[in-house]
Amino acid sequence: MSILHVVRHGETDWNRERRFQGHRGPGLNAVGREQAADLATRLAASLPPATPVYTSDLTRARETAAAIAAALGSVARPRADLRERGLGLLEGRTYAELARTHPEAVARYRSREDRDAIPQSEPLARFERRVLDAARDIALACEEAVVVTHGGVLRVLLRAALGPGKTFALGNCSCYRLEVRGEAIARLP
Protein backbone atom coordinates (compact mmCIF):
# COMPACT_ATOMS: atom_id res chain seq x y z
CA MET A 1 0.00 0.00 0.00
CA SER A 2 1.13 3.53 -0.78
CA ILE A 3 -0.30 6.99 -0.20
CA LEU A 4 -0.02 9.48 -3.05
CA HIS A 5 -0.69 13.17 -2.47
CA VAL A 6 -1.70 14.13 -6.01
CA VAL A 7 -1.47 17.85 -6.81
CA ARG A 8 -2.69 19.84 -9.76
CA HIS A 9 -0.13 22.46 -10.86
CA GLY A 10 -0.51 26.14 -9.98
CA GLU A 11 -2.26 28.66 -12.18
CA THR A 12 -0.93 29.71 -15.59
CA ASP A 13 -2.03 32.56 -17.83
CA TRP A 14 -3.65 29.95 -20.09
CA ASN A 15 -5.72 28.66 -17.15
CA ARG A 16 -6.91 32.20 -16.53
CA GLU A 17 -7.73 32.63 -20.26
CA ARG A 18 -9.41 29.17 -20.30
CA ARG A 19 -7.07 27.91 -23.03
CA PHE A 20 -6.44 24.21 -23.48
CA GLN A 21 -2.88 23.40 -22.49
CA GLY A 22 -2.24 19.72 -23.13
CA HIS A 23 1.48 19.27 -23.75
CA ARG A 24 1.96 23.00 -24.38
CA GLY A 25 1.42 26.10 -22.36
CA PRO A 26 3.28 28.63 -20.27
CA GLY A 27 4.83 28.24 -16.86
CA LEU A 28 3.18 29.48 -13.70
CA ASN A 29 2.00 33.06 -13.41
CA ALA A 30 2.39 35.11 -10.20
CA VAL A 31 -0.79 33.61 -8.71
CA GLY A 32 0.41 30.10 -9.57
CA ARG A 33 3.77 30.69 -7.92
CA GLU A 34 1.99 31.91 -4.77
CA GLN A 35 -0.35 28.89 -4.83
CA ALA A 36 2.64 26.55 -5.13
CA ALA A 37 4.46 28.25 -2.24
CA ASP A 38 1.34 28.08 -0.02
CA LEU A 39 0.75 24.41 -0.79
CA ALA A 40 4.44 23.64 -0.25
CA THR A 41 4.23 25.15 3.25
CA ARG A 42 1.12 23.10 4.10
CA LEU A 43 2.62 19.86 2.79
CA ALA A 44 5.92 20.46 4.63
CA ALA A 45 3.94 20.81 7.86
CA SER A 46 2.13 17.50 7.37
CA LEU A 47 4.57 15.18 5.54
CA PRO A 48 7.88 13.69 6.66
CA PRO A 49 11.03 15.48 5.48
CA ALA A 50 12.46 14.18 2.19
CA THR A 51 9.11 12.74 1.05
CA PRO A 52 9.65 11.81 -2.61
CA VAL A 53 8.20 14.24 -5.15
CA TYR A 54 7.34 13.09 -8.68
CA THR A 55 6.22 15.50 -11.35
CA SER A 56 5.06 15.77 -14.91
CA ASP A 57 7.91 16.98 -17.08
CA LEU A 58 5.85 19.94 -18.34
CA THR A 59 6.97 23.37 -17.11
CA ARG A 60 3.87 24.32 -15.08
CA ALA A 61 4.02 21.08 -13.09
CA ARG A 62 7.82 21.17 -12.69
CA GLU A 63 7.66 24.70 -11.27
CA THR A 64 4.97 23.66 -8.77
CA ALA A 65 6.92 20.54 -7.83
CA ALA A 66 10.14 22.51 -7.33
CA ALA A 67 8.48 24.63 -4.62
CA ILE A 68 7.09 21.54 -2.89
CA ALA A 69 10.33 19.58 -3.13
CA ALA A 70 12.34 22.49 -1.71
CA ALA A 71 9.97 22.76 1.28
CA LEU A 72 10.27 19.00 1.90
CA GLY A 73 14.05 18.87 1.44
CA SER A 74 13.51 16.58 -1.53
CA VAL A 75 14.16 16.65 -5.26
CA ALA A 76 11.42 16.77 -7.91
CA ARG A 77 11.69 13.76 -10.24
CA PRO A 78 10.22 14.49 -13.70
CA ARG A 79 8.26 11.77 -15.50
CA ALA A 80 6.79 12.07 -18.99
CA ASP A 81 4.04 9.56 -18.08
CA LEU A 82 2.57 12.14 -15.65
CA ARG A 83 1.94 14.64 -18.48
CA GLU A 84 -1.48 16.00 -19.30
CA ARG A 85 -3.27 14.35 -22.19
CA GLY A 86 -1.97 15.49 -25.56
CA LEU A 87 -4.88 17.57 -26.89
CA GLY A 88 -3.71 18.07 -30.46
CA LEU A 89 -5.71 20.77 -32.19
CA LEU A 90 -7.12 22.08 -28.88
CA GLU A 91 -3.76 23.16 -27.47
CA GLY A 92 -3.38 26.90 -27.10
CA ARG A 93 -6.96 27.63 -28.08
CA THR A 94 -10.24 28.36 -26.30
CA TYR A 95 -13.58 26.64 -26.91
CA ALA A 96 -14.84 29.83 -28.57
CA GLU A 97 -11.93 29.89 -31.04
CA LEU A 98 -12.35 26.21 -31.85
CA ALA A 99 -16.13 26.46 -32.16
CA ARG A 100 -15.61 28.82 -35.11
CA THR A 101 -13.07 26.60 -36.93
CA HIS A 102 -14.08 23.04 -35.92
CA PRO A 103 -17.66 23.23 -34.58
CA GLU A 104 -18.57 19.56 -35.12
CA ALA A 105 -15.48 18.18 -33.36
CA VAL A 106 -15.92 20.60 -30.46
CA ALA A 107 -19.61 19.69 -30.09
CA ARG A 108 -18.76 15.95 -29.98
CA TYR A 109 -15.94 16.55 -27.49
CA ARG A 110 -18.03 18.75 -25.19
CA SER A 111 -20.96 16.33 -25.21
CA ARG A 112 -18.56 13.55 -24.13
CA GLU A 113 -19.98 11.59 -27.07
CA ASP A 114 -16.53 11.29 -28.59
CA ARG A 115 -13.59 12.36 -26.41
CA ASP A 116 -11.27 11.36 -29.28
CA ALA A 117 -12.98 13.73 -31.74
CA ILE A 118 -10.24 16.35 -31.64
CA PRO A 119 -7.71 15.87 -34.45
CA GLN A 120 -4.20 14.83 -33.36
CA SER A 121 -5.21 14.26 -29.72
CA GLU A 122 -3.81 11.41 -27.65
CA PRO A 123 -6.40 8.59 -27.60
CA LEU A 124 -8.27 8.69 -24.31
CA ALA A 125 -7.82 4.97 -23.55
CA ARG A 126 -4.05 5.24 -24.02
CA PHE A 127 -3.91 8.35 -21.81
CA GLU A 128 -5.89 6.63 -19.04
CA ARG A 129 -3.67 3.54 -19.16
CA ARG A 130 -0.52 5.71 -19.06
CA VAL A 131 -1.76 7.59 -15.99
CA LEU A 132 -2.86 4.51 -14.06
CA ASP A 133 0.40 2.70 -14.86
CA ALA A 134 2.41 5.72 -13.66
CA ALA A 135 0.51 5.93 -10.35
CA ARG A 136 0.94 2.21 -9.71
CA ASP A 137 4.63 2.38 -10.61
CA ILE A 138 5.20 5.24 -8.14
CA ALA A 139 3.23 3.37 -5.48
CA LEU A 140 5.53 0.36 -5.90
CA ALA A 141 8.59 2.61 -5.46
CA CYS A 142 7.64 4.24 -2.15
CA GLU A 143 5.14 4.16 0.70
CA GLU A 144 4.26 7.84 0.43
CA ALA A 145 4.92 10.44 -2.26
CA VAL A 146 3.76 13.75 -3.68
CA VAL A 147 2.76 13.61 -7.36
CA VAL A 148 2.47 16.94 -9.18
CA THR A 149 0.52 16.75 -12.39
CA HIS A 150 -2.49 18.12 -14.29
CA GLY A 151 -6.29 18.30 -14.14
CA GLY A 152 -6.84 15.56 -16.72
CA VAL A 153 -4.48 13.21 -14.88
CA LEU A 154 -6.22 13.92 -11.58
CA ARG A 155 -9.60 13.21 -13.15
CA VAL A 156 -8.41 9.79 -14.35
CA LEU A 157 -7.11 8.93 -10.88
CA LEU A 158 -10.24 10.19 -9.10
CA ARG A 159 -12.51 8.23 -11.45
CA ALA A 160 -10.43 5.12 -10.72
CA ALA A 161 -10.94 5.78 -7.01
CA LEU A 162 -14.60 6.86 -7.04
CA GLY A 163 -16.05 5.17 -10.11
CA PRO A 164 -16.78 6.11 -13.72
CA GLY A 165 -19.17 8.85 -14.70
CA LYS A 166 -17.97 11.26 -12.04
CA THR A 167 -17.06 14.83 -12.97
CA PHE A 168 -14.73 17.06 -11.02
CA ALA A 169 -14.00 20.78 -10.86
CA LEU A 170 -10.35 20.84 -9.85
CA GLY A 171 -8.75 24.07 -8.73
CA ASN A 172 -5.14 24.90 -9.38
CA CYS A 173 -2.88 23.55 -6.62
CA SER A 174 -5.65 21.32 -5.29
CA CYS A 175 -4.32 18.21 -3.54
CA TYR A 176 -5.98 14.80 -3.15
CA ARG A 177 -4.82 11.88 -1.01
CA LEU A 178 -5.09 8.54 -2.76
CA GLU A 179 -4.29 5.08 -1.49
CA VAL A 180 -2.89 2.70 -4.09
CA ARG A 181 -2.99 -1.02 -3.28
CA GLY A 182 -1.99 -3.12 -6.26
CA GLU A 183 -4.53 -2.33 -8.97
CA ALA A 184 -6.97 -0.65 -6.56
CA ILE A 185 -7.04 3.11 -5.99
CA ALA A 186 -9.10 4.72 -3.22
CA ARG A 187 -9.55 8.34 -2.14
CA LEU A 188 -8.60 9.14 1.43
CA PRO A 189 -10.07 11.98 3.50
Of these residues, 9, 11, 102, 122, which one is catalytic?
Answer: 9
Contact 5/157 with Cβ under 8 angstroms? no
CA 47/CA 51 separation, integer angstroms: 7
For residues 162 and 59, give the distance between their C-alpha atoms in angstroms, rounded to a whole number: 29
Map residue 93 onto helix, strand or coil. Answer: coil
Active site residue 84: yes
Q: Which of 11, 63, 84, 128 is catalytic?
A: 84
Cα–Cα distance between 108 and 129 in angstroms, integer?
A: 22
The DSSP code for 11 is P
Is 9 catalytic? The answer is yes
Task: Return the active site residues.
Answer: 9, 84
